[in-house]
Structure 1
């Protein structure tokens, strides 16, 4: 979904870990395209009729919220939510890194967007697919959990920075996917991938995030709003959407998703009626210094 790590050393490390996991789990040799995660943290690939995902974390850093997301989703989420089943896991350490291999069912149809989460074309999906997505998110919303995907402390700190408005108190919390975008959705029929982030989010967050990632495809964006109007057009849903937009603006400030920066900013200004603070451009890198 994302670009490989910048250095060949990191690419080799992750490829070696993936091959090692496939060998240990007695799988068919990896084949087909590589699917890299954010900043090369994960590498996934087909192994026969299974899907093998390997995630890594430096030993000197805590594993955090994302580390056990896939396994807790398998254990705690209803099977009625369309997603690949987790079949096996493997953990080990090597060379200053902790690794986890997650073996899952292979979803036989492709994701709706390749190359990243931003939708770059219109997608024509039947009403049945949208109904499946709505039903899945409604079921998910009612799942009890202590996993916190979005925190009030983040809102308190970052709403003034990225939205230019005072923080709001979130009172309507639901359980959500927390990374709902087009590179994590397949179909029809629906299958939702990548459950490492799931947990408590503000109502409207998942729908708001999917809508924001759709803004470069206006017809699809309009279909998202139609499908989730019952959430997004409520006071709590608008707060959830603003949280999603603020998080994306934070990502933009770090040099990513520049292709949707203006559309996200325009959406925030439409909701708040205020001008969004424009961050200063990053300084020019020093030349001639390693």
Structure 2
């Protein structure tokens, strides 16, 4: 898979600059997870994000997320200004580039997880996060972020028949709420490629899981989303995130520091959901 951190793509950058009639700040790129995307400031004070997919693996859910999210209201997020996409026969890739309003506040972390308590999260910041995700749940959408069959597989791989993984409440969800996708001091939620329906509580469960190395923050997240996380769907969402991240640690070496707290919480949730003493 192409890693944009290591492979120069001057032709792609040139195509974007021409398509948007804009200059890109190529001296200061920002890279997404695994080098699968990159972003640049622009000469008109906006932001360009470039990403790709193999031509044989275009996923409608991921590929149309930003456009579908552009009509959301009540959600603190960058505004989509324009988008282009094109086929690259040499690399057998499909590229896309999105121009959005630029977010001046930086991401809270360079990684999805945090290892110390963020210093600039005010009470208003937490309220804005809660309000944005509440507004999202009130949106009507046919998009699906996380399927029941995936939840079935992940939970049964970990817990076998001890836990019934059937979700009984589904709501619109961002599906990737972690500390690299949140900004401060102004709260903005980034990267809307994969949003759609998911288990109630998934967004709170995701942020909680990526906060487990800082118990005070994990507790703050649990309190903020208590209504969602205390119900059965929320407990399943927490267990799903624990076992999904444990799988990423095992298969890809991602987030290895989280292995111990994720295992501890997964075992607790299996006991809770199975009704075991």
Normalising by structure 2, we get a TM-score of 0.89
Residues 163 and 268 in structure 1, CA contact (< 8 A), matched pair in contact too: no
2:204 match = 207
1:188 match = 185
| Alignment partners' CA distance in 2, 1:190 and 1:230 | 22
Measured after TM superposition, the shift of residue 6 of structure 1 is 8.1
SS in 2 for 1:171: coil
2:222 match = 225
Q: Aligned pair 1:51/2:47, yes or no?
A: yes
How big is the alpha-carbon RMSD for the aligned residues of Structure 1 and Structure 2? 1.9
Q: Aligned pair 1:149/2:145, yes or no?
A: yes
Q: Aligned pair 1:162/2:158, yes or no?
A: yes
| Alignment partners' CA distance in 1, 2:4 and 2:24 | 25
Residues 83 and 191 in structure 1, CA contact (< 8 A), matched pair in contact too: yes
| Alignment partners' CA distance in 2, 1:157 and 1:29 | 43
75, 89, 94: which one aligns with 1:81:
75
| Alignment partners' CA distance in 2, 1:248 and 1:65 | 21
Unaligned runs of 5+ in 2: 273-277
Unaligned runs of 5+ in 1: 275-290
1:113 match = 109
1:127 match = 123
| Alignment partners' CA distance in 2, 1:254 and 1:24 | 38
Measured after TM superposition, the shift of residue 57 of structure 1 is 1.1
Q: Aligned pair 1:27/2:22, yes or no?
A: yes
Measured after TM superposition, the shift of residue 7 of structure 1 is 8.1
Q: Aligned pair 1:235/2:206, yes or no?
A: no
Give per-residue Cα distances to partners, 1:173-194, cap 9 Å, x unaligned: 0101000001000122211100
Count of matched residue positions in the alignment of Structure 1 and Structure 2: 265
| Alignment partners' CA distance in 2, 1:29 and 1:155 | 41
| Alignment partners' CA distance in 1, 2:141 and 2:132 | 16
Give per-residue Cα distances to partners, 1:55-76, cap 9 Å, x unaligned: 111112233421111111103x
Measured after TM superposition, the shift of residue 156 of structure 1 is 1.7
SS in 2 for 1:220: helix
| Alignment partners' CA distance in 2, 1:105 and 1:58 | 27
Residues 4 and 31 in structure 2, CA contact (< 8 A), matched pair in contact too: no
Q: Is 245-254 or 136-145 further displaced after alignment?
A: 245-254
In structure 2, the CA distance between the partners of 1:137 and 1:6, relative to structure 1 (3 Å rule), is closer
In structure 2, the CA distance between the partners of 1:21 and 1:142, relative to structure 1 (3 Å rule), is same
SS in 2 for 1:192: coil
| Alignment partners' CA distance in 2, 1:44 and 1:163 | 40
Residues 177 and 207 in structure 2, CA contact (< 8 A), matched pair in contact too: yes
